Every structure is written in C-alpha cells, then in structure tokens.
Amino acid sequence: MKKIQNYINGELIAPKNNQYINNYEPATGLVYSLTPESDADDLELAVNSAESAKQSWADMPSEDRSKLLMKLADAIESGSEELAKAEAIDNGKPISFARVVDSYRSASNIRFFANATTQFSSECHDMGSVGVNYTLRQPIGIVGCISPWNLPLYLFTWKIAPALASGNCVIAKPSEITPMTAYIFSRLCIEVGIPKGVINILHGTGLSIGAPLVEHEKIKAISFTGGSSTGKAIASVIAPKLKKFSLELGGKNPTLVFADSCSSEEELESVVSEVVRSAFSNQGQICLCGSRIYIERSSYEKFKALFIEKVGDLKIGDPLNEETQHGALVSEAHRDKVFSYIELAKEEGGTILTGGNKVVIKGRCEKGYFIEPTVIEGLSSECRVNQEEIFGPVCTIQPFDSDEEVLAKANGTEYGLATSIWSKDISRCHRLSTKLDFGIVWINSWLLRDLRTPFGGMKSSGMGREGGLEAMRFFTEPKNICIKY
C-alpha cells in the first residue's frame, strides 16, 4: 500500500502524527493508497520553511524564477503519461480526457506564468512638472492555495503558478480525495531543483489541515476553489483577519440554444455535440458544465431527439480503457449524492429521458462509482434540481419562446459562474451577454480558454478573478511611490 508523503522544505516526509486516511480508486471502490492526515504541527514546519525561503525567492531575478518554472513545466510535459494515468486512477476520469486536459493544461499553466513573470509590469503616472508616481507590485510573502478534486493537478498548478511567478512562497493543500498527482508533482519539484521552502504541499482533510492553513497568521492570502458553502465559511474566517482572498466556487450554468444555430442538419449535429460535451465532460464534474439547457421551442423536439441519442451513445467504462468516454464519479458519497438528485427529480415531476441509473461494470470495476449520464425533462425553473449544484452527470432541458424568457430563467439561480449562447445573431449575442449575470459568457463555444483572461464568477459563484494579470495582481501588493521634482 503506497503512502503519499507531504512535501516540506524540499523533502518528502511523513506527517508528524503518523496519521493517514484511505485513498480510494473510484473505478474499483478499493483503497489503493494512504494519504497523510496532516495537522497544525506539519503546517508549522511548512510555514517555518517558507519563512526561511521567502526573501531569497522574492529577490531572485525574474529571469531566474522563469527558468526554474520552465524546467518544472518541461518535467510535467515529460511525465504527462504517468500523470494522466495517476489522474484517471485517482479521480475516475477517462485517461484520454486526463491526457488532453489535465496533463496538458498543467504544463501550460506553469509555462504561461513562467513567461508572465518576465512580462509583469506596473504603472507610472506623470504629474507634469510637479512630479511622478510609480507603482511597485511586491510579493505578499507566504500564501495558501487550496485546490479541488475534479481537475486535481490542472487547478493545483493554476493556483500555485502565478503565486510562485510573482515571488511568493506557497503552502498548498490539494484535495484529500485526489492527492496523487500533487504527490508526483512534489517529486518533480525536487528533480528540477525548486529551492527548499518555496513550495510546500500538505495533504489532509479540511478540518485537520485546511482550517489551520486558512487561520495561520503568517499566511497572508488564500486562494480557494471548491464548494460555495465551504467558500463562505472560509470568507467568514478570513475577513476579520483582513487577509486577501480569492474564491472560485460553484456553478449552475445555463446553456442557451437558439433556433438559428441549428437551421441545417450539419449545424444541429455540431451544436448538439458541443452541448453534450459541455454537460457531461469529466462526468459533469466541472464547475463550468452546462447543466441547465434551454432550447428555443421551434428547434426543441429535433434538438432533444439528437441530444438524447448522443448522450445514450457515450461509452461508460473503466477509466483506463482508451475507448471510455464516461468514467466513474469521484467517490461513493458523491455518487450517492448525485443519485439522490435523480430521485428528487422524479419526485419534483421530472421525466428521465435517458440514463438515471447506477451502472455496474463487469471485471475489476464491479464496485466502482458509476452513474449513467442523465437527461431530465419537465421540471420547473424553481425546483431544487434546477436551483442547486449537483456537480455530476445530470442535466435538465426546457423549451423557451423569447429572449426575455430565457434571460430570466438563465439568471434565476444564486449562481453566476458561466454560460453559453448558441446563435448566429451576433446582435442578440452581444445584447444578452451584457445582461447575463455570469463571470464568463461563451458564444458558440464552451470551455474555449485563454489564460490571459479573467476567470471567476458572480453571486454565490465566488469573489475575485484568476488568470493572467488578475492572478499576478492578486498575489502582489501594490505600493505607490510619489516623487516631487
């Protein structure tokens, strides 16, 4: 039984309390490794390590920091197959998805911010003959990064890369449900020579290590991605301490399909394929998945028929099989939660058009956490299934008759992360984009990402923005210096 280790002061070490928790493979339902249940004593070691390293890392020329981060990105790229397999085993996602999304984007995240550290600049404000102001953007010092289980290494690197690039030391907590790729990442940091103490990785539950990390006085900023309820709890702790924080939280994302986007058979085929992808990628376990699908009534029946057909064709199976398109959910508890919403949909008057059942995969995956991709019709916009984040392979479809109606339905939840509009009427797309209460609006696309752009949501979907300059600015403190001539 492999024991995962913490990464503190450049070394892989056991937790001081020698306590571990089981790490399950979702596809088999079996324990396959042990994860440290770190606590405040481990955190103190990490903080002391970061304290010793923070000045030299902050003072390092940006070109040298960039070279080290580039080496780290190269190491991720070289180890992409090992990382993809580890992600498929640890998370339950298809290995084909892990290759093209998780491994690829993790290396891209590091490489992007390795370049950004040499390009990041600040402002100068000329006061004419009176004087000049210039702005220094200096590292905060020690920052905490807490990442989720759905895209473990992808979102782990998405957080730590800008923190490191801007000169901070990082104490990172990956999800205890999917710790393996962060552990492999620790080994890569050692291999490429990341200085001791610059990044420390602590494993464990939110109660044992997450809460102490958030509360520690020497950790000056927190970047968190996860559930909205946890994010609100973190905010209640951090706000009185006047720490900086960024919260990327849940989503209940609408997809708006207008009839003009499906006017030919070829267009219908293309749009339906993308909407299926947006609803069920990673078993629906992406905060950006479109789980509420609204279709203009004149195209509703033909869209529905093809949509159900394509969802039903998704290949469910062992995540390590190359042909698998739909893997296991991340845990037994999460599978049961998702299934409870399918049962709730029936109670609320919904009709299951396809899916809706637990799945048994013969062979090694007989005890795995599989659910069929599920499409539900006939629910009101106000029902719980359409209001609460399920975070699984469940979507609802509804017809609409006007722009005003679909706008009200789309905006009608507490969430505001992302939305997609499918229409050839560019004026409509621009008009609706300004009125949709979401941090991200995709037009005739989904998950088309540019690392330079701000990423984040409105309302219960979070506070702050990640990505590009937004991330670099979050992880630095601006200081204005005024010089009188």
**Annotated domain spans of the chain:** 2-249+461-484, 253-451
Structure tokens at 46: 């990490």
Q: Which superfamily does 253-451 belong to?
A: Aldehyde Dehydrogenase; Chain A, domain 2 (3.40.309.10)
> Is residue 443 within 8 Å of 421, Cβ to Cβ?
yes
Neighbour tally for 61: CB within 10 Å: 10
Structure tokens at 217: 């006085």
pLDDT for residue 122: 87
Q: Which of 145, 169, 189, 287 is catalytic?
A: 287
Between β-strands 2-3 and 30-36, what pairing exists: parallel, antiparallel or unpaired? Answer: parallel
Q: Which of 37, 248, 296, 372 is catalytic?
A: 248
State whether the Cα torsion 87-222-463-453 is positive or negative: negative
Helices marked H in 120-170 — which ranges?
A: 152-165
Nearest-5° angle of CA 138, CA 453, CA 157?
Answer: 65
On the 0-12 / 13-18 / 19+ scale of CB atoms within 10 A, 109 is: buried
> Is residue 32 within 8 Å of 180, Cβ to Cβ?
no
> Is residue 334 within 8 Å of 328, Cβ to Cβ?
no
Structure tokens at 237: 């702790």
Name the β-bridge partners of 417. none
Dmax (CA) of the chain: 79
Backbone dihedral angles phi then psi of residue 394, each to the nearest 5 degrees? -135, 125
Running DSSP on this structure, what letter comes out for residue 37?
Answer: -
pLDDT for residue 1: 80
Structure tokens at 39: 């606590």
Structure tokens at 183: 């552990």
Structure tokens at 455: 């990423």
- The three-state secondary structure class of 418 is strand
Q: Is 248 a catalytic residue?
A: yes
Buried b or exposed e, range 214-240, using 16+ CB within 10 angstroms: bbbeebbbbbbbbebebbeebbeebee
Cα 272 to Cα 301: distance, rounded to the nearest angstrom: 12
Q: Is 482 a catalytic residue?
A: no
pTM: 0.96
> Is residue 275 within 8 Å of 293, Cβ to Cβ?
yes
Helices marked H in 252-313 — which ranges?
A: 265-280, 297-312
Domain 2-249+461-484 and domain 253-451, same fold? Reply is: no
Sequence-distant (6+) residues with CB within 8 A of 16 are: 39, 41, 42, 45
pLDDT for residue 294: 98
The candidate with the shortest Cα–Cα distance to 157, out of 476, 481, 477, 466, is: 466
The candidate with the shortest Cα–Cα distance to 416, out of 465, 354, 344, 358, is: 465
CATH level 3 topology of 2-249+461-484? Aldehyde Dehydrogenase; Chain A, domain 1 (3.40.605)
Cα 31 to Cα 35: distance, rounded to the nearest angstrom: 11
> Is residue 175 within 8 Å of 148, Cβ to Cβ?
yes
The candidate with the shortest Cα–Cα distance to 448, out of 428, 422, 413, is: 422
CA atoms within 13 A on the CB side of 67: 6
Cα 5 to Cα 8: distance, rounded to the nearest angstrom: 9
In a structure prediction context, what are the per-residue pLDDT tens digits for the chain, which is 485 residues long?
899 999 999 999 999 999 999 999 999 999 999 999 999 999 999 999 999 999 999 999 999 999 999 999 999 999 999 999 999 999 999 999 999 999 999 999 999 999 999 999 889 999 999 999 999 999 999 999 999 999 999 999 999 999 999 999 999 999 999 999 999 999 999 999 999 999 999 999 999 999 999 999 999 999 999 999 999 999 999 999 999 999 999 999 999 999 999 999 999 999 999 999 999 999 999 999 999 999 999 999 999 999 999 999 999 999 999 999 999 999 999 999 999 999 999 999 999 999 999 999 999 999 999 999 999 999 999 999 999 999 999 999 999 999 999 999 999 999 999 999 999 999 999 999 999 999 999 999 999 999 999 999 999 999 999 999 999 999 999 999 999 99
